[in-house]
Structure 1
Amino acid sequence: MRINLSIFAIIIISCTQATINNNKDDFQPNDIIKNYNAVEVGLDILFQEKINIINRKKIGLVTNHSGVDKYGKPNYLKFIDQKNIDLKIIFSPEHGLFGEGAAGQKLEYNQIENMPKIVSLYGKNKKPNLKDLKEIDLIIYDVQDVGARFYTYITTLGYIMEAAAKTNIKVIILDRPNPINGNIIEGPVLNIQNQSFVGYYPIPIRYGLTMGELAKMIIGEKWIKQSPDLLVVPMKNWSRKMWYDETGLNWTKPSPNIPDINTALIYPGMCLLEATNINEGRGTEKPFKRFGAPWINNRTLTAKLNEKNLPGVEFKAVTYIPKDISGVAINPKYKNQICNGVEIIVKDRNRYQSVKTGIAIISQIASDYPNLFEISEKRMKKLWGINDLSIFKNINNNAIDRSSIKDFLALSKKYYIYN
């Protein structure tokens, strides 16, 4: 079947075509998981054991390209295949249903043949229109997250739950792994006065929960205005100590600039560079793994960072040229300019502290280039989560107050689904 998909960017309208086959007999699975103890995600469990809870229901599905089963089959095709299920509408978060949108790119969809209506929640509106919920009985949320507070999929989750509560619609979360494990928590807890689309809940930057656990905590702690009836379909065989590459599941990049697990690990600290005039690797094949600017002496900076002996990481001097990459990077910082940069090489991911590393990088550049380095305090407060930004200006202090993290850890344990 042929699909005409119209993608509307903020200024430029571009059209692309994609082909989707909704015939299960023609579906070609990814490499079948050989490990019988491999993790089974909520989507697998729903269809294997709990299909009765959605039989004869009119469904709204919140998902994107990451919502696949253990064989790589998209969830919406699985729902379409079921005669007793009526998939009425699909809502897509930032980056679109097919992962085709770059960061910040606004998307809208025309009607696609033999598919339900598709509504972008990163277009004209970030919240679902209540009119779109009138004909559905329940909402199913199935999106792979990365475990960082400013990754916008978790804000979309909150908006969906608020809308569901207003319309008395049940929400089902099909749980998926936290790819950077559930044992490590980093960064300050967001002060609610800095609430935004990139920080909607009072949680640390790296919060150590699955999407299902976070949803339970959001409702339990009353972090949204109204709460719906919630059901989490948990995974099987997942534990908090697991990294994604230990699950037996195939990796599907959750967004265009998170191509692999190492990038997901580095992201919670390096995304802070988005509030500065340092290129964070966007526009290259290694987003967030490298950073730089034309005016940096990268060899000197590399030496200083290595002298800090930060846990689990080494640094290497590199040069690169950020470029526009369709569907991945639009107008990256210093586009088409030579950037003198540094590459992050994680040597021990169990010791590596992403947020601490990000602070060390920013504070070192701020110290070395006081007349060239720029930071948007408004933007940084949204990402960092609190108003005190002094940590980025003091080269000798990259310690984060642990008391709020300890409080969050104690609170969040009430909502754990997995050991």
Structure 2
Amino acid sequence: MKFTTIVSLLASVTAAAKCKPRYPVDNTHCPDTGSPVGNVKTGFENWLEMMKSPDFDFKSNYGFITNPTAVNRDLVHEVDYLVAENKLKIVGVVGPEHGFRGAAQAGESLGAATYRDVITNLTVYDGYAFTNGSQWANAFNKMEADTLVFDIQDVGARFYTYIWTMYDAMVGAALAKKKFIVLDRPNPVGGLVVDGATLQLQNASFIGRREIAQQHGMTVGELATLFNEEFLPNEVQLNNTAVKKIDLQVIKMTGWERSMYFDQTGLPWIIPSPNMPTPSTATVYPGQSLFEGTNLSEGRGTTRPFETVGAPFMKDLALDTLVKTLNSYKLPGVIFRPFYFTPSFSKFSGVECGGLQLYVSDRRTYRPITAAIATLSTIRNQFPANFTILATNSIDRLSGNTKLRKFLNEGASYPTIVSSYQADVAAFTQLRSKYLMY
């Protein structure tokens, strides 16, 4: 056998070993067979290329809305890089939930309206404390920005707050008459699947401002164009202003395809929030976050948040029955196993829980919202004396309407619940089709 042939065979074996699923039924940790890892260039990388043009706007005062996910190929934060290279005149930074440097846990405040970043010496504003467009506009005016730049990695679910940080900032940009640039990044769970109910405005909150589907299947750049064309013109905060839309520029990615999952992009995964440690977490999140509206632990305080769910009352033979029931549904692309865990914080901190761990066997057929609803309805029916929906009715804000809560209280089957929002899926799919860029 020739030496080159041996080398080729060894390379193939090594590649196959690297891409071997971590568990026999879990292929979310490596690209699908036959799908080579791409070389996606982010909006930021393409924006850097645009800076080589003599027509680039170097005169503007730039304000950034960003967090630790906005890195270049060398894992250097883009603001740090631009300041060090003296590329642009940056006059301030606004951080979203968890902060500019990612120091805060979910729901935590940074404790100050502004502070001085020791790395860049820039003033950083706590955008998570802003509750309306006027506060954003005031921050933009205070920092004397002409152009705002948004660059944050989203995870593809309506209730992830970063897209609503973008929406609120866009309202602020309209009020302050500022230009708005979005540096696009991949949707880590792909851009093909649209699923879940569309939010109804009476359930609007910071985990869902406007009428989009629970799993929207769009990039932040695409969402920005949809927001600008569909929602800002009828935004009540802009009722008394002549400006109903913003001067929006989306810097597209190159090399990204809608079928791609994050591990196929060639980009490094920077955790977008403390409980989103891997792309596998993002895969299940559009459905599993619904458990935050119940008395069940959604896995916060474990090494597998959202991939696990449970409570102290879900143990032993009852848990075994639950697992067998869920697996009997033969839900596409997912298998359940019993799992015992003790959260280190959040619900049931320090208390042993029994529950489920999800194994995604085929992420292209797996539907996280269907799987989560099937799990919720089955737990509700098997543990009626123990399972409760939180009195805050946060599940209404998560699901976008009151239907899910009412169906669960009535003991409805999961197919009944899933069928109830299919008209929403069809309508939003048609709406978003006008704004797809890839």
Structure 2 unaligned spans of 5+: 1-35, 239-243
Alignment counterpart, residue 374 of structure 1, candidates 388, 403, 407: 388
**Within 5 A, what are the aligned runs for 1:247-326?**
247-297=265-315, 298-324=319-345
Note if 1:121 corresponds to 2:127.
Answer: yes
- Partner amino acid, structure 1, of 2:74: Y
Note if 1:89 corresponds to 2:89.
Answer: no
Note if 1:172 corresponds to 2:181.
Answer: yes
- Is the Cα–Cα contact under 8 Å of residues 130 and 136 in structure 2 kept in the other structure? no
**Within 5 A, what are the aligned runs for 1:46-61?**
46-50=47-51, 52-61=55-64
Aligned pairs, how many? 377
- Partner amino acid, structure 2, of 1:356: T
**What's the secondary structure of 1:110's corresponding residue?**
strand
> 2:353 — aligned with what?
339
Listed one character per residue, the Cα deviations across residues 94-124 of structure 1 (whole Å, up to 9, x for unaligned) are: 0111222111111135323342101111136
- Is the Cα–Cα contact under 8 Å of residues 366 and 373 in structure 1 kept in the other structure? yes
Q: Quote the Cα distance in structure 2 between the aligned partners of 1:259 and 1:204.
A: 24
- Is the Cα–Cα contact under 8 Å of residues 64 and 92 in structure 2 kept in the other structure? yes
**Within 5 A, what are the aligned runs for 1:5-154?**
38-50=39-51, 52-83=55-86, 85-107=88-110, 108=112, 110-113=115-118, 114-123=120-129, 128-134=135-141, 135-154=144-163
Q: Quote the Cα distance in structure 2 between the aligned partners of 1:334 and 1:36.
A: 40
- Is the Cα–Cα contact under 8 Å of residues 298 and 310 in structure 2 kept in the other structure? yes
Larger radius of gyration: 2
- Is the Cα–Cα contact under 8 Å of residues 195 and 213 in structure 2 kept in the other structure? yes
TM-score (norm 1): 0.86
TM-score (norm 2): 0.83
- Partner amino acid, structure 2, of 1:323: S
**What's the secondary structure of 2:150's corresponding residue?**
strand
Structure 1 unaligned spans of 5+: 1-34, 325-331
**Within 5 A, what are the aligned runs for 1:387-398?**
387-389=402-404, 390-392=406-408, 393-395=411-413, 397-398=416-417
Q: Alignment RMSD, CA only?
A: 1.8
- Is the Cα–Cα contact under 8 Å of residues 126 and 156 in structure 1 kept in the other structure? no
Q: Cα distance 1:391–1:312, how it changes in 2: closer, same or farther (>3 A)? A: farther
Higher helix share: 2
Q: Cα distance 1:304–1:50, how it changes in 2: closer, same or farther (>3 A)? A: same
- Is the Cα–Cα contact under 8 Å of residues 165 and 227 in structure 1 kept in the other structure? yes
Q: Quote the Cα distance in structure 2 between the aligned partners of 1:323 and 1:54.
A: 49
**What's the secondary structure of 1:399's corresponding residue?**
helix
> 1:383 — aligned with what?
398
> 2:422 — aligned with what?
402
Q: Quote the Cα distance in structure 2 between the aligned partners of 1:233 and 1:293.
A: 45
Aligned-residue offset at 1:383: 0.7
Q: Quote the Cα distance in structure 1 between the aligned partners of 2:434 and 2:65.
A: 26
- Is the Cα–Cα contact under 8 Å of residues 367 and 395 in structure 1 kept in the other structure? no
- Is the Cα–Cα contact under 8 Å of residues 56 and 84 in structure 1 kept in the other structure? no
Aligned-residue offset at 1:391: 3.7
Aligned-residue offset at 1:303: 1.4
- Is the Cα–Cα contact under 8 Å of residues 313 and 346 in structure 1 kept in the other structure? yes
- Is the Cα–Cα contact under 8 Å of residues 215 and 286 in structure 2 kept in the other structure? yes
- Partner amino acid, structure 2, of 1:264: A
Q: Quote the Cα distance in structure 2 between the aligned partners of 1:47 and 1:258.
A: 28
- Is the Cα–Cα contact under 8 Å of residues 127 and 136 in structure 2 kept in the other structure? no
Q: Quote the Cα distance in structure 2 between the aligned partners of 1:54 and 1:152.
A: 30
Q: Cα distance 1:216–1:368, how it changes in 2: closer, same or farther (>3 A)? A: same
